[in-house]
Chains A and B, each alone.
Chain A
Amino acid sequence: MMRLGLVAVLWCGLWLPPLRNALESDMPLHMTVQLPLLAATGVLMVPAVCRRELRWLADADWLGIPGLVLVLFSTSYWMLPVALDSAFSDWRIEAAKFVSLPLAVGLPLGLSWQRMPPLGRAFVIANVISKLGAVGGLFLVAPVRVCAYYPLDQQVKAGGALIGIATALAFSRVPCFALRVVLDCAGQIRRSSFTAPTGGRRRYTLLATAVAKQSG
């Protein structure tokens, strides 16, 4: 309950005009602060929601694939310049943004990520990095304004910010994931004679206990 309260406070804070106008009047802040914070409210909801998650939905979300496909569709939607513009000029699109980012990005991301095996996670991260890099690069070099409501200098700054985020993600996540996938494959080969393959997270705990037994 505490957590849902926190989510509600954060969401309302973002929605109230002073903060909303401040964040939306600037293209880099809009794309790299407001949109991720809205998605974060959805991720924060996960512990409160996952115990009450419908059984059939959890069953149907096989390996977290439908959930992550939903996340990729919604994030790429809110990267469209025309969607950013409409959110600025049309209150209905703005409302859709405030509802869809927590419920169609943050929440499914948090729920499906736990079900996704490491290879799937690595694929999603690689997809996000390349998409951020492509959009950022487009904003940096485009000679014309892509958004009707933001001047060219803000567009260039937003491009730089997106490329910065993509680079940070690449340097922080990619080595980690590569290591995990390698470890996972190695563990599977070693255990294949006596264990049936199981879900992503469980496999690590199995691997960790096996390693601990051998070393200790």
Chain B
Amino acid sequence: MGAVLVVCGVGVLVIQFVARFPALTCARRDNAACCERWRLTRGFLPLLGLVVGVGLAARSSATHGFRVVTTEGARRLAVENHSPTIPDVALIDQNGTRFSLDAYRGRVLLVDFIYTDCPTICGVLGSNLAEVMDLLSREGGVLQHVNLLSISFDPARDGPRELSACGARFGATAPHWRVAVPATAEGLRALLKTFGEVIIPDQFGGFTFTRNDSVYLVDRQGRLVRILDPDAPATLLAEAARSGS
């Protein structure tokens, strides 16, 4: 953005400088042809340059240098560039066990956000993660290094019983694949903020939600390093293995 502005500013200055020479423009405003030339060099071109410069600069700043057009794209780019450390939040898993996110340090973690009442997309997400789990357990040794965590953002309705039922549907067993809910509301807020997860009520009036369909990759140091599409289990696993090695 800064570069675009500088280029345009210099362009405008050059045009203004060139326009100062009477041979190129005109000194006498009463001459019609001269006036037209004055209008083009002193008025029109600098104004056009300014407009194009400001337009490009605004667009460049909104799209992170013409690289993204959606909030999701911007979010993924920001995570890859900055890798925020995830907060140490206490959660309660499907067995009613309390644990903290720092316990995963030293292991790669794949995180997704769910609510157990979810009618549609969570099922697909769950079966994709189940496939990742399947691939992981077949590779034996990797299982110690890569763990899965499904976090519910609906603590009002999701207790250990609901979480356990949901986990059983996809074959999630602690501690390799925990289905958990944050122990406190502040913890949930901190998690959603760090992961950049946006949750909005959908058209059925606040009983169900729409949220980002993403799987989050947290590395051994507890940093959020990638945001991935959930629909390619093999890619998820490859990314996790790459991050863990």
The chain A residues found within 8 Å of chain B, CB to CB, are 56-57, 59-62, 65-66, 69-70, 73-74, 76-77, 80-83, 85-86, 144-154
Contact = CB atoms under 8 A, between A and B. Distances in A.
A81 B52 CA distance: 21
A37 B40 CA distance: 34
Given A73-B59, A82-B73, 18 more contacts: A56-B43, A60-B47, A61-B44, A62-B44, A65-B44, A66-B44, A66-B47, A66-B51, A70-B51, A73-B58, A77-B59, A80-B63, A81-B71, A82-B62, A82-B63, A145-B210, A148-B75, A151-B203
Interface residues of B, number: 33
23 contacts: A59-B39, A59-B43, A60-B46, A66-B47, A70-B51, A73-B54, A73-B56, A73-B58, A77-B55, A77-B59, A80-B62, A81-B69, A81-B70, A82-B70, A82-B71, A82-B73, A83-B62, A147-B70, A148-B72, A149-B71, A149-B198, A150-B200, A151-B203
A82 B75 CA distance: 10
B47 to A, nearest CB: 4
Interface string B31-75: 000000001101110111011101110110011000011111111
B117 interface: no
A61 B74 CA distance: 36
A146 B75 CA distance: 13
Given A62-B39, A62-B40, A82 B74 contact: yes
Interface of B: 39-40, 42-44, 46-48, 50-52, 54-56, 58-59, 62-63, 68-75, 198, 200, 202-203, 210, 212-213
Given A60-B44, A62-B40, A80-B63, A149 B55 contact: no
Given A86-B62, A151-B210, A70 B69 contact: no
Contacts of A81: 69-71
Nearest to A62: B44
A148 B58 contact: no
Contacts of B47: 57, 60-61, 66
Nearest to A65: B48
Contacts of B50: 66
A86 B70 CA distance: 10
Contacts of A69: 48, 51-52, 55
Contact of A148 (B39, B54, B203, B212): B212
A12 B166 CA distance: 49
Given A59-B43, A60-B44, A73-B51, A151 B200 contact: yes
A13 B58 CA distance: 27
A148 B51 contact: no
Contacts of B71: 81-82, 85-86, 147-149
Contacts of B63: 80, 82
A153 to B, nearest CB: 6
A176 to B, nearest CB: 28
Nearest to B198: A148
A77 B47 CA distance: 19
Contacts of A59: 39, 43
